[in-house]
Structure 1
Amino acid sequence: MNRALWFVAGAGAGVYGVVRARRAAEVFTAEGAQDRMNALFLGARLFRDEVAQGAADRETELRERFGVLPHERPTTPELESRGQH
């Protein structure tokens, strides 16, 4: 029983080592580098979209709080007298 346990532990460690080595070797190939760059650009794009969505949500909240309609520009008496809006 003791030998079987050590055999299974050794085999598991060997499989783990081979898988880690294969992943490490993949990083240094052209395809691996391209995959990493694509993942980086995708992450940046998702972050940009999340920030834009958060800004739009916050703008909507502020417009509701202050009673400003979407795309409505506040006017002042000076601008109205000049004919500018």
Structure 2
Amino acid sequence: MGRPLWFVAGAGVGVYAAARARRAAEALTADGLRDRLRGWQVGARLFAEEVQQGRAERETELREQLGLRPHGIPELTRGGEAPPARTSPTDAPKENEN
């Protein structure tokens, strides 16, 4: 019973090694390398997006905890009143008027 068992085990290892060798050879072709590179790029992009989303969420949490204004460009106003709206470039304040 020992010889048939070793024969089957050897055949199984041979089939496994042949399949692994075929996969390795396929991975080293131009198409295989291109696919692997695209996979890395997609993974890196997804990772960067998740990091960005986590950073934004944490920033929002910290701003809420500290009672800060929402992020963005703060409005520069005088005494709570809105700045005057300009309708055309000629409405801009003139400098050095005498």
After TM superposition, the score normalised by the length of structure 1 is 0.78
Alignment CA distance shift 1:40-1:11 (3 Å): same
Alignment CA distance shift 1:31-1:56 (3 Å): same
Q: Give the aligned partner of residue 39 of structure 1.
A: 39
Q: Give the letter for the 1:22 counterpart.
A: R
Structure 1 unaligned residues grouped into runs of 5+:
none
Superposition CA RMSD, Å: 2.3
Q: Give the aligned partner of residue 61 of structure 1.
A: 61
Cα shift readout 1:51-84 (whole Å, capped 9, x = no counterpart): 1011011111111101234346667xxx645x88
- Larger radius of gyration, structure 1 or 2? 2
State how far apart, in whole Å, the 2-side matches of 1:25 and 1:72 are.
52
Counting only pairs closer than 5 Å after superposition, residues 3-82 of structure 1 correspond to structure 2 as 3-71=3-71, 80-81=77-78
Q: Give the aligned partner of residue 2 of structure 2.
A: 2
State how far apart, in whole Å, the 1-side matches of 2:5 and 2:36 are.
39
SS in 2 for 1:35: helix
State how far apart, in whole Å, the 2-side matches of 1:70 and 1:4 are.
74
Q: Give the letter for the 1:16 counterpart.
A: Y
**Structure 1 ranges of 4+ moved more than 2 A:** 68-75
Q: Give the letter for the 2:30 counterpart.
A: A
